[in-house]
Chain A
Amino acid sequence: MNRLEKRLREKRAAGGKILLPFLTGGYPDMETFIGLLLELERVGADGVEVGLPFSDPAADGPVIQASSQVAIERGASLTSIFEAVATARSRGLTIPLLYMTYYNPVFHLGAEEFSKCAVKSGADGVLVVDLPPEEAAEFAPAAREAGLDTIFLVAPTTPEERMDKVTRESSGFLYCVSVTGVTGEKKPVVEMVGDLVKRIRPHTDLPVLIGFGVSTGEGAAELAKVSDGVIVGSALLSSLGDERGDEAVKRGGDFIAGIRKALD
């Protein structure tokens, strides 16, 4: 068990709720991104999900689309984000970190090479959003071999008979998609998410985190009641406004500190 799953299980065992913020790698710029990583740890994030921006993010809503485009335009690439994360590690980032991306950049680099570079940068897990278990045969074993947890999604549309297929391939935690939609748009209905988590539990004892549409402290707290914690992405990126540098770091930190407070 690597750092990601271990830390999340420890948090759950201690009765705490897990808070996993999402940042787009290289957004709003590389230096600010590094500052944000460190600030998120300081204000109590239990881990961080770093999006490796892709030109065609078909599962993402407008906020993550726009941040991905900006990051790419400002020169972010897998290599430069890996370097930035390594820099953050060297400056004292200790919380677990996973990469979220789409399959083409991974496939283009090669599953083994990608996994090796990700681990070397200091990552503990990876989630490829357009890679369901059925298509993961060439990637997931390589990622696990390199020491990465492989995170997969369960959605409200996932039927009972697919649950085992998804949970079997999963390590680290299970990413429970709260709505049938893209990131950051629809508001989840707590009762429905609760029912979904109940359907998931018999299939795995991994921590179950809720993502998509978690935007306020109040909403996060309600969703955390029916799960082990939450992932917050679009709302965090929105909170930065058009700021870069210290002001952006402060805004992001304040926003996540607010969610932390609501969860505790």
Chain B
Amino acid sequence: MTIRGETGRFGPFGGQYVAEVLMPVLSELEEAFAAVLEDEGFWDEYHRILREYVGRPNPLTFAANLTRMAGGCEIYLKREDLNHTGAHKINNTIGQVLLATRMGKKRVIAETGAGQHGVATATAAALFGCQCAVFMGEEDVRRQAPNVERMRLLGAEVVPVTSGSRTLKDAMNEAMRHWVSHVDNTFYVIGSAAGPHPYPVMVREFQRVIGDEIKAQSLERFGKLPDCVLACIGGGSNAIGAFASFLDDEVKLVAVEASGEGLETGRHAAAIAGGQVGVLHGQKSYLLQDCNGQVLEAHSISAGLDYPGVGPQIAELARTGRIEVLTATDEDALAGFHLLTRTEGIIPALESAHALARAVDVAKTLPKEAKLVVNLSGRGDKDLATVLAFEKKGGAA
């Protein structure tokens, strides 16, 4: 089964590394997704919801003060933070839950780290009248209490995961276990452009609206494409969404990984810069692992980037040099967080703050008249407690 000719392999990456029970389930999903890709009615409905409910298209904001501060090229912000629920995650959950209802599945499950994807899934489930269960590491349930309450208000069951390191990767393991046990009525909504085929393709297609809008807005405003698009990567959903429209264009694409306390400390979440090729959660990609092939816990101040792997298409784009991959530490991200808040009056998510930190550097390398678009993937209200706690401690998160 292919989806518009795509097999789910991106060079040496991707694939379907799952237990036999799930293989037929993934085939069913591939078929359903391939069918809706050609179904105009489906996309009309999807875009209507993005317009009326999510608030798209969101603006491309010229960050005049930040541009002046950076002293490089012009910096623009793609305002995913202005979406309903405050991040890009909703683009994908609307798409997947709409697909779930088309497939007759009345129940959706999701994994979540920071809680943004969980909230976005619970929101879509409430909108479409589906049951919803969200798997979340016990450690994250504790760290992200407000989002746990949000999900519960939205009618979702939040299932604390007590296995392994009790964080995002374990939540994903548990979601897969639950899915295996409830395949007949349950749809698994993956939030990252990761997991077994067709998820990386599907999540990209539901996130590509970000890049499509950047393209249209750039053409209208500059009369040309932007010179550079820059985004943070954990699993890579906001980045692949922002990049997908530009892969064949002469546009510089830059991804920023979270290097936590520093690559040299081993406490980071930079799968490309600091990992090796491996297999986890159904896909082959770069992965943080030890000398025995055991998966390592990722570390980042930003829970949304706190994942030991990266989506397979991002991995391939990095391997072939189509995208440039930079890193930003926890400290860099905090600096980016304050910088945007003070210069533009926009509080960014700590995830997006990684991108902002490097955007200032990249801007300096480009001609003054060049246009750099930073994907501002989410808003930072959720991170206030983390930022305050970090600064009170004077360092280590």
Task: Give chain A's interface residues, CB within 8 Å of chain B.
Answer: 54-62, 65-66, 69, 72, 77-79, 102-109, 129-132, 134-135, 152-159, 162, 166, 177, 180-182, 185-186
Complexed CA–CA distance, A166 and B184 (Å): 22
Known A-B contacts A55-B295, A180-B180; the reply to A108 vs B278 at CB < 8 A is yes
Considering the complex, give the chain B residue whose CB is closest to the CB of A157: B24
Q: Which residues of A contact B163 (CB under 8 A)?
A: 62, 65-66, 69
Q: Which residues of A contact B276 (CB under 8 A)?
A: 108
Asked if B177 and A54 sit within 8 Å, CB to CB, the answer is: no
Asked if B23 and A162 sit within 8 Å, CB to CB, the answer is: yes
Chain B contact residue count (CB 8 A cutoff)? 37
6 smallest CB-CB distances across A and B, nearest first, come from A108-B293, A105-B293, A181-B181, A153-B20, A155-B21, A55-B294
Complexed CA–CA distance, A185 and B310 (Å): 31
Complexed CA–CA distance, A182 and B284 (Å): 22
Task: Give chain B's interface residues, CB within 8 Å of chain A.
Answer: 15-25, 163-164, 169-170, 172-173, 176-177, 180-181, 183-184, 276-282, 284, 287, 289, 292-295
Chosen A-B contacts, 26 in total, with CB atoms closer than 8 Å, are A58-B19, A61-B177, A102-B279, A104-B278, A104-B279, A104-B287, A104-B289, A105-B292, A107-B277, A107-B293, A108-B276, A131-B17, A135-B15, A135-B17, A153-B20, A153-B21, A155-B21, A155-B24, A156-B21, A159-B24, A180-B180, A180-B183, A182-B180, A182-B181, A185-B181, A186-B181
Q: Which residues of B contact A79 (CB under 8 A)?
A: 292
Asked if B177 and A182 sit within 8 Å, CB to CB, the answer is: yes
| Dominant SS among interface residues on chain B | mixed
Q: How far is the CB of B31 from chain A (nearest CB, A)?
A: 12
Sample of 5 further A-B pairs with CB below 8 A, known A108-B276, A158-B23, A182-B180: A56-B164, A78-B293, A130-B282, A131-B17, A153-B20
Q: Which residues of A contact B19 (CB under 8 A)?
A: 58-59, 129-130, 132, 153, 155, 177
Asked if A58 and B281 sit within 8 Å, CB to CB, the answer is: yes
| Dominant SS among interface residues on chain A | loop
Q: How far is the CB of A124 from chain B (nearest CB, A)?
A: 21
Q: How far is the CB of A39 from chain B (nearest CB, A)?
A: 27
Q: Which residues of B contact A156 (CB under 8 A)?
A: 21
Considering the complex, give the chain B residue whose CB is closest to the CB of A76: B292
Complexed CA–CA distance, A79 and B170 (Å): 25
Asked if B177 and A157 sit within 8 Å, CB to CB, the answer is: no
Q: How far is the CB of B309 from chain A (nearest CB, A)?
A: 10
Q: Which of A58, A106, A109, A180 has the largest number of chain B CB atoms within 10 A?
A: A58
Asked if A132 and B292 sit within 8 Å, CB to CB, the answer is: no
Complexed CA–CA distance, A56 and B277 (Å): 16
Q: Which residues of B contact A132 (CB under 8 A)?
A: 16-20, 23
Q: Which residues of A contact B176 (CB under 8 A)?
A: 58
Asked if B20 and A58 sit within 8 Å, CB to CB, the answer is: no
Q: How far is the CB of B21 from chain A (nearest CB, A)?
A: 4
Complexed CA–CA distance, A109 and B183 (Å): 33
